[in-house]
């Protein structure tokens, strides 16, 4: 199969069958190379980045007040596992078609100093038209806000790509006042990464979580008003 439209529909359908709520494809040629920390001889040969999103449980998020809950922590872990499973399934399907694919883990830090993974799932998702980077420094989707988790699959399978999102948060400031670290600012580029990270570490230590999570601004972000 070499038809990009048929390929796209096949992979998109497979993602939705496994519970994905969002699907988009980015042209890797226009994706910033500095966003990719993955070292592989195949990277330069891969033309597309598939972005897949899972809509987090609204009910679990609504129970969050000023700190993450044990239920949210468990949900966060299970969703990451599901997204990694979807990445493996899509990789297998692409390889069965005779093409290459690299699934990027949904949540894996490879550079602890800068808190970066193999690539930025949120920036790839933005490039795939699934949303924009909000004041909370997270992907904001028009339908789900920031209530999503993401996984990425890089591939050379011919696919239909989406244009990057050009939206922004507009007049919505829902995340600013609720941030327990005061890390969120009026301008997204002024987001205080260090204060956010320190707060995540505090939550992990005091609540005995093995992941650095919060969820407060995720709950607040429902998309543009």
Residue 211 placed within a domain: yes
Residue 169 placed within a domain: yes
DSSP codes of every residue in the chain: ---HHHHHHHHHHHHHHTT-SEEEEEEGGGS-GGGB----TTGGG--EEEEEEEE--HHHHHT-SSS--HHHHHHHHHHHHHHHHHHHHHHHHHHHTT--EEEEPSS--SBTTTTB-SB-HHHHHHHTTS-EE-TTSSEEBTTTBT-EEEEEEEE-S-----PPP----TT--TTTTT-TT----SSGGG--HHHHHHHHHHHHHHHT-SS----HHHHH--S--
Residue 200 placed within a domain: yes
> What gap in Å lies between CA 110 and CA 37, rounded to an integer?
8
| Cα–Cα distances in angstroms (integers) from residue 75 to residues 59, 60, 145, 167, in the given order | 11, 8, 18, 29
Nearest to 140 by CA among 153, 126, 151: 126
Higher pLDDT, 78 or 33: 78
Domain count across the chain: 1
pLDDT at residue 33 in the model: 54
- This prediction has a pTM of 0.91
Residue 158 placed within a domain: yes
Distance of CA 15 to the CA centre of its chain: 15
Report pLDDT digits (tens) over 176-221.
999 999 999 999 999 999 999 999 999 999 999 988 999 999 999 9
What range does the domain containing 205 cover? Answer: 4-220
Angle between helices 4-17 and 70-96 (to 10 degrees): 150
pLDDT at residue 109 in the model: 67
> What gap in Å lies between CA 71 and CA 153, rounded to an integer?
28
Q: What value does the mean pLDDT of the chain take? A: 90
Residue 225 placed within a domain: no
Whether 9 has a pLDDT exceeding 80, the answer reads yes
Report pLDDT digits (tens) over 110-147.
665 555 667 889 999 999 999 999 999 999 999 999 99
Report pLDDT digits (tens) over 57-99.
999 999 999 999 999 999 999 999 999 999 999 999 999 999 9
> What gap in Å lies between CA 168 and CA 59, rounded to an integer?
26
pLDDT at residue 143 in the model: 95
pLDDT at residue 1 in the model: 45
pLDDT at residue 112 in the model: 53
Q: Are 150 and 14 in contact (CB under 8 A)?
A: no
Structure tokens belonging to residue 88: 């493996």
Residue 92 placed within a domain: yes
pLDDT at residue 35 in the model: 58
């Amino acid at each position: 199969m070499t038809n990009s439209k048929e390929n796209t529909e096949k992979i998109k359908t497979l993602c939705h069958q496994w519970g994905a709520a969002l699907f988009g494809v980015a042209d890797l040629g226009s994706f910033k190379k500095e966003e990719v920390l993955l070292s592989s001889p195949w990277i330069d040969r891969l033309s597309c980045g598939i972005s897949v999103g899972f809509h987090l449980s609204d009910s679990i998020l609504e129970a969050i007040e000023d700190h993450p809950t044990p239920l949210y922590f468990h949900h966060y872990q299970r969703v990451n596992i599901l997204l990694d499973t979807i990445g493996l399934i899509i990789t297998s399907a692409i390889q069965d078609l005779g093409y290459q694919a690299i699934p990027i883990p949904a949540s894996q830090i490879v550079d602890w100093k800068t808190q970066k993974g193999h690539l930025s799932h949120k920036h790839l998702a933005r490039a795939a038209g699934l949303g924009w980077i909000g004041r909370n420094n997270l992907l904001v989707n028009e339908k789900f806000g920031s209530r999503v988790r993401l996984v990425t699959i890089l591939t050379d399978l011919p696919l239909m790509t989406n244009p990057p999102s050009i939206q922004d948060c507009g007049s919505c400031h829902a995340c600013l006042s609720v941030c327990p670290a005061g890390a969120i600012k009026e301008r997204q580029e002024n987001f205080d990464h260090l204060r956010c990270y320190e707060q995540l570490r505090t939550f992990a230590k005091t609540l005995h979580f093995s992941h650095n999570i919060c969820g407060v601004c995720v709950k607040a972000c429902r998309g543009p008003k």
